Amino acid sequence: DRTRTPFIAGNWKMHKTIAEAEAFVAGLLPRVADADGVEVSLCVPFTALQAVVDSTRGSRVEVYAQNMHEAPEGAFTGEVSAAMLTELDVHGALLGHSERRQFFGENDRALQQKVPAALAAGLKPMLCVGETEEEREAGDTERKLRHQVQEGLEKVPLERLAEVTIAYEPIWAIGTGRVATPDQAQEAIAFVRALVAGFDKEASEQVRVLYGGSVKADNAAELLALPDVDGALVGGASLDPASFAAIVDAAR
């Protein structure tokens, strides 16, 4: 449904120093200058946020942090608040990436606070959800998604629901080269949209739901053509400007 603006987001994970980030931006900007009608963002390590904000200013590229603490400030060593991000003119925050959940104990309870806290601070939240391979094989995919989406959106004011982006990322497809089939992606993402409709029907038609998991230049077009897939969250293939720009191109 092209009433929703296609959205391609890159997640650098723990890659790129400031110098590497600046070299990437210099390579990317000329390649996406003509990508009218596509929203593009980069999820950048904290240390390179300022440099990427500065070097993308005035371009179509928006800058997201990869995490954000839900509290305004406090005794949370190693964490970063929404105000610390907005002070840098960061546009949004990736929330609940499966690596945060798997390796750093992030849970749906914290995300229930993080999503509305980001919105309240003026940051665009991108909430990540997705099942493990074990859960898919056990027939638990919908139960897992229901839990994650309902918890994550529970405290979002209904009139702001459409501002949340949701990234459906089956964990077995992240960094594995095992991309979901078009049927699997469409089915899960339509289900996620139906869950949003459980909160508000109109918002569910406006909310962007992205697919993530081994998206590359050569499989992006097929996924992006699916009716409920509004874009892609790209890990590995976002590290190189030419391959990331090719995915942006596929969304046009």
* Contacting positions for ligand PEP (CB under 6 A): 11, 13, 169, 174-175, 212-215, 233-237
CB nearer to ligand PEP: give 116 or 235.
235
Q: Could you tell me if 60 and 39 are in contact, meaning their C-beta atoms sit under 8 angstroms apart? A: yes
**CB of 179 vs ligand PEP, minimal distance in Å:** 8
Distance, in Å, from the CA atom of 208 to the CA atom of 79, rounded to the nearest integer, reads: 27
Residue nearest to ligand PEP (CB): 235
69 is catalytic: no
**CB of 221 vs ligand PEP, minimal distance in Å:** 16
**CB of 85 vs ligand PEP, minimal distance in Å:** 19
Distance from chain centroid for Cα 241:
18
| List 39, 70, 163, 169, catalytic entry | 169
CB nearer to ligand PEP: give 96 or 213.
213
Binding site for substrate: residue ranges? 11-13, 175, 214, 235-236
| List 97, 99, 106, 163, catalytic entry | 97
Q: What string of DSSP letters covers 136-203?
A: HHTT-HHHHHHHHHHHHHTTS-GGGGGG-EEEE--GGGTTTS-PPPHHHHHHHHHHHHHHHHHH-HHH
CB nearer to ligand PEP: give 149 or 203.
149
Name every residue whose Cβ is closer than 8 Å to that of residue 85 and which is 6 or more positions away in sequence: 49, 65, 68, 93, 121, 123
**CB of 178 vs ligand PEP, minimal distance in Å:** 9
CB nearer to ligand PEP: give 116 or 170.
170
The letter for the amino acid at 117 is A
Distance, in Å, from the CA atom of 125 to the CA atom of 191, rounded to the nearest integer, reads: 20
169 is catalytic: yes
Annotated catalytic sites, by residue? Answer: 97, 169
